Amino acid sequence: MTASIGIVGASGYGGVELLRLLAGHPSAEVVVVAAHSQAGQPVSTLFPNLPGDRVFDAVDLDRLSSLDLVLLSTPHGASLELGAALHDAGTRTVDLSGAFRLDAEAFATWYGEAHPRPDLAPAVYGLPERNRAAVAGATLVANPGCYVTTVLLGLLPLAPLLVPGSVVVDGKSGTSGAGRAAKDALHATHVANSLTAYGAPGHRHTGEIEAQLAAAGSDLGPVSFTPHLLPIARGLLTTSYAGLREDVAADDVQQALREAYADEPFVHVLEPGRFPVVKAVVGSNACQLSAVVDPRTGRVTVVAVTDNLGKGAAGQAVQNANLLLGFEETTGLSAIGMYP
């Protein structure tokens, strides 16, 4: 079977990565590449890695709802509208934005606006390593945030071992995490040879991390999260610190991680003392992580890396699409990272 796929937001960074990945997918045909301001423009003008004469389509909901699956790689405002309409039409949809990741109350807190469709908030949370059965049966899937994916893959297996209120997360992202729209702070002259923090306290991903830890049965209370902007195009590294409960040994930490990911194709646990490298996962759907326990402080430090456009966005969206369409979960995602 070949599935007909539509991408909305194809002219953005998530969109171009979806196009790249799906070009290598044996059972998916991308029949709609919809954009907003770029509709009518040749794809290759924006994205030289996609030569040819294909032109960005305009958004046509009737056309989209006739497809096997739609990927929304749009700002959350557009996703709120399109995701709800596609859900109501019964069209399987993966939304890469934050529109449907939180319940309505948390959405209002972290996004500063009322959710227009509380009945869809939250949709099925598309972290396959935790939720693959629910994803497979869903109509609307909320793809997790890039920082959140990276943090959760490290913290979720350890959550029962941690002290509530003790979680501190430091995240660092390449500039493609902010999307294609030119922003002064992302200009090469600001970013190159530099490093800065932003958005703390109160970055939206804080609420998503807290909600997912609680949904997994480990309400660890408020989390401190500070993101930083790395002078690289893509790739993301998170360092999470948390206090360990009194009777937890360093071996318990390693065992929890190994057990959680023994059979996972995309999550690789490194031995303690080996730290993951961003470059090793760029271009792939992988997450690499490792944890070390400091007996002096009683805290664990978990370091994890992903490609923000891979496992942090488009790669994970393809993984979710495979589950929704009944394909092998890894289809089209076999590329390993580029190194050096």
Instruction: List contacts with ligand NDP (CB under 6 A).
Output: 8-15, 35-38, 59, 73-76, 78, 96-97, 145-146, 176-177, 179-181, 308-309, 312-313
Alpha-carbon gap, residue 89 to 99, rounded angstroms? 18
Judged by the rule CB under 6 A, the positions of this chain that interact with ligand X2W are 97-98, 145-146, 173, 177-178, 199, 204-205, 227, 229
Judged by beta carbon, residue 128 or residue 243, the one nearer ligand X2W is 128
Residue appearing with tokens 């920082």: 147
Alpha-carbon gap, residue 313 to 94, rounded angstroms? 11
Judged by beta carbon, residue 130 or residue 205, the one nearer ligand X2W is 205
- The b-or-e profile of 115-151 (16+ CB within 10 A means b, else e) is bebeebbbbbbbbbbbbeeebbebbbbbbbbbbbbbb
227: partner contacted, choices ligand X2W, ligand NDP, none (Cβ within 5-8 A by kind): ligand X2W
Alpha-carbon gap, residue 139 to 20, rounded angstroms? 24
| In the complex, minimum distance from the CB of residue 262 to ligand X2W, in angstroms, rounded to a whole number | 28
229: partner contacted, choices ligand NDP, ligand X2W, none (Cβ within 5-8 A by kind): ligand X2W
Judged by beta carbon, residue 162 or residue 236, the one nearer ligand X2W is 236
| In the complex, minimum distance from the CB of residue 38 to ligand NDP, in angstroms, rounded to a whole number | 3
Q: Is 189 helix (H, G, I), strand (E, B) or coil?
A: helix
| In the complex, minimum distance from the CB of residue 127 to ligand X2W, in angstroms, rounded to a whole number | 13
Alpha-carbon gap, residue 334 to 332, rounded angstroms? 6
| In the complex, minimum distance from the CB of residue 326 to ligand X2W, in angstroms, rounded to a whole number | 27
Judged by beta carbon, residue 38 or residue 206, the one nearer ligand X2W is 206
92: partner contacted, choices ligand NDP, ligand X2W, none (Cβ within 5-8 A by kind): none
Residue appearing with tokens 């805290």: 299
315: partner contacted, choices ligand X2W, ligand NDP, none (Cβ within 5-8 A by kind): none
- Secondary structure, 3-state, 6-67: EEECCCCHHHHHHHHHHHCCCCEEEEEEECCCCCCCEHHHHCCCCCCCCECECCCHHHHHCC
| In the complex, minimum distance from the CB of residue 35 to ligand NDP, in angstroms, rounded to a whole number | 3
Per-position DSSP letters for 284-336, written without gaps between them? SS-EEEEEEEETTTTEEEEEEEE-TTIIIIIHHHHHHHHHHHTS-TTTT--PP
Judged by beta carbon, residue 114 or residue 181, the one nearer ligand X2W is 181
Q: Are 94 and 21 in contact (CB under 8 A)?
A: no
Judged by beta carbon, residue 146 or residue 305, the one nearer ligand X2W is 146
Residues marked as catalytic: 146
- Give the H or E element holding residue 220: none
Residue appearing with tokens 């909901």: 61
| In the complex, minimum distance from the CB of residue 310 to ligand X2W, in angstroms, rounded to a whole number | 13
